[in-house]
């Protein structure tokens, strides 16, 4: 299907149907697959099944950006399936839902429709035309699904737990919400900068403290999810999620964005010298 023949509203409606179908498939697989296996492994299989359906839709629409909302929809769906009636479960899930709704809404607001594909994906199309859908299947769809699933590992321990709600639980919820706020403010400042006709890289608000405050907020959310697991004594290996997400942003996403910025705006090198890449430096003048 060509995105050129579909309006933005129709595009969003089609993607909405895709995600409802993916949630349905994931739910059916989770309920019916792997009897006798742990909740974690059943959820992993369900997550992969949902990803496969979204990939099929991306291929049908010839647009890998159909997958983009998966990053923010999947954690909420996984959390809802694991939730219990405890105070901890309610607060962590509510914080996660606020994160998921905000990030999904931000994508909806910025996506032009099925004729538009993320610049990174378009770059892969140009550079590797024959291998593009193989790259899309494993690099654009499967890899982020695995990253998010790893990030959700602490939820398998935190949400069903009946342990008393403690200080660290409160800290975890606060970190998730505060990080969501940082990401949201950064996205809104960038949007207003562009709408106001700002030229070059944004260096206002949070963007004068960090070159990538939105990514900093995203990393913080997953760190908060890990803290929720720590609060109930989750195994050490549940830290793999936020660590993997941190490495992905620092090792892949940020370098790609910065190479593109330098190619388009050579003056970006001065911004690199003046503003820290990720973590603000209060001692830097």
- Consecutive H or E run containing 202: none
Does residue 130 lie in a domain region? yes
Q: What is the pLDDT along the chain (285 residues), one digit of tens a residue?
A: 445 578 999 999 999 999 999 999 999 999 888 776 799 999 999 999 999 999 999 999 999 999 999 999 999 999 999 999 999 999 999 999 999 999 999 999 999 999 999 989 999 999 999 999 999 999 999 999 999 999 999 999 999 999 999 999 999 999 999 999 999 999 999 999 988 887 778 899 999 999 999 999 999 999 999 999 999 999 999 999 999 999 999 999 999 999 988 988 888 899 999 999 999 987 665
What pLDDT, on a 0 to 100 scale, did the predictor assign at position 282? Answer: 73
Does residue 279 lie in a domain region? no
Say how many C-beta atoms besides its own lie within 10 A of residue 269's C-beta: 12
Global confidence as pTM: 0.92
What pLDDT, on a 0 to 100 scale, did the predictor assign at position 199? Answer: 75
Q: Contact at 8 Å (CB) between 173 and 91?
A: yes
Does residue 85 lie in a domain region? yes
Does residue 283 lie in a domain region? no
Question: Phi and psi at residue 238, in whole multiples of 5°?
Answer: -70, -10
DSSP assignments along 145-193, one per residue = HHHHHHHTTTHHHHTT--SPP-HHHHHHHHHHHHHHHHHHHHHHHHHHH
Does residue 40 lie in a domain region? yes
Does residue 41 lie in a domain region? yes
First-to-final CA distance of the chain: 52
Q: Provide the mean pLDDT of the chain.
A: 93
Cβ density class 230-257: b for 16+ within 10 Å, e for less: bbbebeeebbbbbebbbebbeeeebeeb
Q: Contact at 8 Å (CB) between 176 and 96?
A: yes
What pLDDT, on a 0 to 100 scale, did the predictor assign at position 197? Answer: 83
What pLDDT, on a 0 to 100 scale, did the predictor assign at position 1? Answer: 47
Q: Cβ contacts of residue 137 below 8 Å, gap of 6+?
A: 55
156-176: pLDDT as tens digits: 999 999 999 999 999 999 999
Based on C-alpha coordinates, what's the Rg of the chain? 20
Does residue 13 lie in a domain region? yes
What pLDDT, on a 0 to 100 scale, did the predictor assign at position 210? Answer: 95
Per the structure, the complete domain to which residue 8 belongs is given by 3-274
Does residue 94 lie in a domain region? yes
Q: Please state the domain count of the chain.
A: 1
What pLDDT, on a 0 to 100 scale, did the predictor assign at position 198? Answer: 73
Say how many C-beta atoms besides its own lie within 10 A of residue 44's C-beta: 18
DSSP class of residue 130? Answer: T
What pLDDT, on a 0 to 100 scale, did the predictor assign at position 285? Answer: 59
């Amino acid at each position: 299907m060509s995105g050129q023949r579909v309006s933005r509203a129709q595009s969003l409606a089609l993607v909405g149907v895709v995600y409802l179908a993916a949630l349905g498939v994931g739910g059916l697989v989770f309920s019916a697959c792997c009897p006798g296996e742990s909740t974690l492994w059943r959820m992993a299989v369900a997550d992969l099944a949902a990803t496969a359906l979204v990939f099929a839709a991306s291929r049908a629409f010839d647009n890998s950006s159909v997958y983009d909302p998966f990053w923010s929809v999947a954690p909420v769906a996984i959390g809802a399936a694991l939730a219990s009636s405890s105070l901890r479960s309610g607060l962590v899930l509510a914080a996660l839902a606020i994160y998921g709704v905000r990030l999904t809404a931000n994508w909806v607001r910025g996506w032009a429709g099925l004729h538009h594909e993320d610049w990174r994906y378009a770059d892969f199309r140009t550079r590797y035309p024959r291998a593009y859908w193989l790259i899309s299947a494993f690099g654009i769809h499967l890899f982020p699904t695995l990253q998010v699933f790893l990030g959700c590992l602490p939820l398998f321990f935190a949400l069903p737990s009946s342990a008393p709600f403690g200080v660290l639980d409160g800290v975890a919820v606060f970190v998730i919400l505060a990080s969501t706020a940082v990401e949201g403010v950064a996205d809104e400042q960038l949007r207003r900068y562009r709408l106001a006709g700002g030229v070059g890289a944004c260096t206002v608000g949070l963007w004068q403290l960090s070159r990538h405050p939105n990514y900093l907020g995203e990393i913080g959310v997953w760190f908060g999810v890990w803290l929720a697991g720590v609060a109930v004594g989750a195994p050490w290996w549940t830290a793999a999620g936020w660590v993997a997400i941190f490495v992905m942003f620092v090792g892949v996403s940020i370098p790609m964005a910065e190479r593109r910025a330098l190619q388009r705006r050579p003056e970006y090198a001065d911004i690199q010298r003046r503003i820290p890449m990720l973590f603000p430096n209060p001692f830097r003048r």
